Amino acid sequence: MNTPRPSAAIEFVEVGPRDGLQNEKALIATADKLALIERAIAAGARRIEVTSFVNPKKVPQMADAEDVCAGLPQRDDVTYIGLVMNLRGAERALATGRINQLGAVCVATDRFAMANQGQTSDESVEAAKAIVALAKAHGRTAQVTIGASFGCPFEGEVSEDRVVAMAARLAEAGPVEVAIADTIGVGNPAHVTRLVERVRQAINPLPVRVHFHNTRNTGLANVWAAVAAGATVVDGALGGLGGCPFAPGAAGNVPSEDVVYMLERGGIATGMDLAKMIEASHWLAGVMERKLPGMVAQAPVFPKVAD
């Protein structure tokens, strides 16, 4: 039963405007964030994490959350996700009238949960469930993410049983999916295969989403392992931007265009237009005024396009 098999298609979620940018020291103009969102949509993204509603003193890069929402393109076919850490953030997100889906985060270990959101791990699960309930009461949907699912910057190894139990509790609240996140990029494909399979069975029929950071260069291998084990929703950030203000040493997300190149070449549809993503990655490097970590955008186009 429930034999894992790679799906013929995955749903891609662009998280660059939030997770990609939140750790940048220099404040990015709201107009540039909106241009990034528009380019992601033009490249095929239909679910985009656009901002987070957190304390602007703690995450100054996200202080313009309401302004970003006010400028979002009016698209019925795009789901805009707003990340929230608590009910106050959720109320802010709902008040914009532009956020379709709340993104709730809980954390697998107590010490990281305390650093990230001032709660124990258990309290963070209850808070995430309350956020899902609030979203539903307002006719919206919610996604949930279990941060530090593969390792904790403070506690080290994380129990797989604990992550699976958390996923089962979260599923009871009725989110659109449950994600396991490698916030600090310590995962490896064998670990990913085991955990995705276990979480998938624990939350069935809800989908498993995966969120990887490429801190130790295992990000793409982890995406492939996750999809092969039955994850059907994959996060990425254009150019491989990213990090976490509360996790020491956290590096960028898996680069969206590298994920899409790998999956599409491997026969797994993503709904994304790689050429437009590469163009957007070049544009983003210009905005950031530096080379971005993603590699596909720096490589020659393959297969070669006739000129």
Cα separation values, 17 from 75, 122, 266, 284, 303, Å: 17, 29, 27, 11, 29
Give 6 or 107: the residue with its C-beta nearer to Zn ion: 107
Residue 14 as a binder of Zn ion (CB under 5 A): the answer is: no
Q: How far is the CB of 18 from Zn ion (least distance, A)?
A: 9
Reading the block at residue 118, the tokens are 């001032």
The Cα 108–Cα 181 span in angstroms is 10
Nearest-approach distance from CB 14 to Zn ion, in angstroms:
13
Nearer to Zn ion, 6 or 109 (CB): 109
Work out how close the CB of 217 gets to Zn ion at its nearest, in angstroms, rounded to a whole number.
16
The number of beta carbons lying within 10 Å of the beta carbon of residue 175 is 28
Return the number of the residue (200 or 213) whose C-beta is nearest Zn ion: 213
C-alpha–C-alpha distance, residues 102 and 140, integer Å: 8
Count of helix runs (H) and strand runs (E) in the chain: 10, 8
- The stretch among 11-19, 85-93, 218-226, 271-279 that binds Zn ion (CB under 5 A) is 11-19
8 A C-beta contact, residue 122 and residue 129 = no
Site track 117-146 with Zn ion (rule: CB under 5 A), x = hit: ------------------------------
Q: Which of 69, 106, 152, 244 is catalytic?
A: 244
Q: Where are the beta strands (DSSP E) in 176-275?
A: 178-182, 208-212, 233-236
Q: Is 106 a catalytic residue?
A: no
Rounded least distance, CB 250 to Zn ion, Å: 8
What gap in Å lies between CA 74 and CA 112, rounded to an integer? 37
Q: Compute how many residues bind Zn ion; rule: CB under 5 A.
A: 1
Cβ closer to Zn ion: 11 or 19? 19
Give the residue carrying structure tokens 């749903």.
11
Q: How is residue 5 written in tokens?
A: 């098999």
Q: Does 49 bind Zn ion (CB under 5 A)?
A: no
**Residue 242 beta carbon to Zn ion: minimum distance, rounded to whole angstroms:** 6
Selected from 14, 19, 177, 258, the binder of Zn ion by CB under 5 A is: 19
Q: Applying CB under 5 A, which residues contact Zn ion? A: 19
Active site amino acids: 244
